[in-house]
Structure 1
Amino acid sequence: MSSSATGDETVIEILGPVNLFILAAVLNNDICLQSARTLTLARILMIPANLIRELLVEDHDFMKAVVFELASAYRRTVKELKNQKLRSGTERLANWLLREERSQGGEGRLTIPYEKRILAAYLGMTAENLSRGFSALAAHGVNIKGLQIDIVDIGKLTDYARPSPLIDDGEPQLPQT
């Protein structure tokens, strides 16, 4: 998900498979504040907005799922705002590395799953500052070669990053009823 103003563009969120976007705009019958672009081959299902609004009234389980999704999206937005306001660019990068390393198996190696310029925009950095951030993290146990990253001292990186459950923990999944 991205947004632009005056020709500049930023990445607001990177969504994985089976996800929703522009739900708030659909529910409010209003302009969408961001656009979306796929980073890999994808299939996108478009459901007419009027059908979504009708189902909210008619289907209690659907309404609960929509409320849960909106609450989760709000919490992700607040966490990202705190991440941007309370951390330096290099600290944001360090915490992203820790989360991504866990999601890729937790073995101290990871591959950046998209172009570095996209990662930089997502972290609120320029490409140059991202490069400086990687250089700075070498002192905290991070080695980078292209898109491949080795975290040779996860403890040292964690000490530097100081992850917070109020920012870095994931959101719960919708309970099955």
Structure 2
Amino acid sequence: MRSADLDRVRSLPLFGVMSDEAFKNVTGGAFLQKFPAGTTLLTEGDTVDFLYVLLDGSVELGASWNDKDTILAVLRPVSTFILAAVVLDADALMSAQTIERSDILMLSGEALRRAMREDAAFSVAVAQELSGCYRGLVRAIKNQKLRGGLERLANYLITQKIRQGGADTFSLPHEKRLLASVLGMTPENLSRAFASITDYGVVINGPQVTIARPSVLERLAKPDPLIDNHTPPSAAPTGKAQRERWPTDRNQRTGS
């Protein structure tokens, strides 16, 4: 492994507090693999032997039941996933698949559990990480249950505008099929929502979105700090604002 890759892992809040010895023990048996797009990394129900760290590329986390499929989260570097299953030594509740060519570091689950027993600061970091994931999940459930599809789309667009620097024109980070799934909508309902949202000053040109009348869109969205976390992860200070994760499209971590 390159030292630059280890430095990127070390920079994550989850690993930044570990002692040098504990970090060396955890990463000593790790290995880095390059996966092509469309590779299934694990399937829900699988035994989880590793914590995955996404260093390059993108990964979608999803689930299926009774011939239905859904996408629960889309991850960008640098991200970790399946932490809760690693901590509990339990089966995965989600499947993971690469969206594009991805570099993924795999850390031994047993080594991580041993580090938790031996390094109190790391144990606290794991608790904070999972607490942030739980709060992100609560936000996502509230968003799904309290808002209609048009309101969810409006808040998603406001979030993307903030995350991409605040300009009125920005690009959707995903194709619309994937976006529909992470918003809890069918592709048909998403298409209707995009058609309706033009009445609120939103101009759609392929993947490019322009919010021409921000105040009008905000009146529709009614963003709420108890549902929406509009602070970009890269700009958030260390502390609770940084540890609360984006519910569907994140540059950070997810548990489960």
- Residue 244 of structure 2 is aligned to residue 172 of structure 1: no
Q: Secondary structure at the match of 2:64?
A: strand
Q: Distance in 1 between matches of 2:101 and 2:208?
A: 21
Matched with 2:89 is 29
Q: Distance in 2 between matches of 1:173 and 1:73?
A: 11
Matched with 2:212 is 152
Alpha carbon RMSD of aligned pairs, Å? Answer: 1.3
Higher relative contact order (CA 8 A, sep 6+): 2
* Structure 2 counterpart of 1:129, from 162, 175, 189: 189
Q: Where in structure 1 are there 5+ consecutive unaligned residues?
A: none
Cα drift, residue 148 of structure 1:
0.7
Structure number with the higher helix fraction is: 1
Runs of 4+ aligned structure 1 residues displaced above 2 Å come to 37-42
Q: Distance in 2 between matches of 1:140 and 1:158?
A: 9
Contact 1:39 1:114 in 2 (8 A): no
Q: Distance in 1 between matches of 2:202 and 2:72?
A: 25
Matched with 1:65 is 125
Cα drift, residue 81 of structure 1:
0.2
Q: Secondary structure at the match of 2:107?
A: coil
Contact 1:25 1:32 in 2 (8 A): yes
TM-score of the superposition, structure 2-length normalised?
0.65
* Structure 2 counterpart of 1:162, from 222, 227, 235: 222
Q: Where in structure 2 are there 5+ consecutive unaligned residues?
A: 1-60, 232-239, 244-256
Bigger Cα displacement from structure 2, 63-72 vs 38-47? 38-47
Deviations 1:18-62 (A, max 9, x none): 222111111111110001223333211111110111010111221
Matched with 1:48 is 108
Deviations 1:147-176 (A, max 9, x none): 1111100110001000000011256225xx
Structure number with the higher strand fraction is: 2
Q: Distance in 2 between matches of 1:118 and 1:35?
A: 15
1:29 alignment partner AA: D
Cα drift, residue 16 of structure 1:
2.5
Q: Distance in 2 between matches of 1:48 and 1:12?
A: 24
| % identity of equivalent residues | 43
Matched with 2:148 is 88
Cα drift, residue 5 of structure 1:
1.0
Instruction: State how many pairs are aligned.
Output: 174
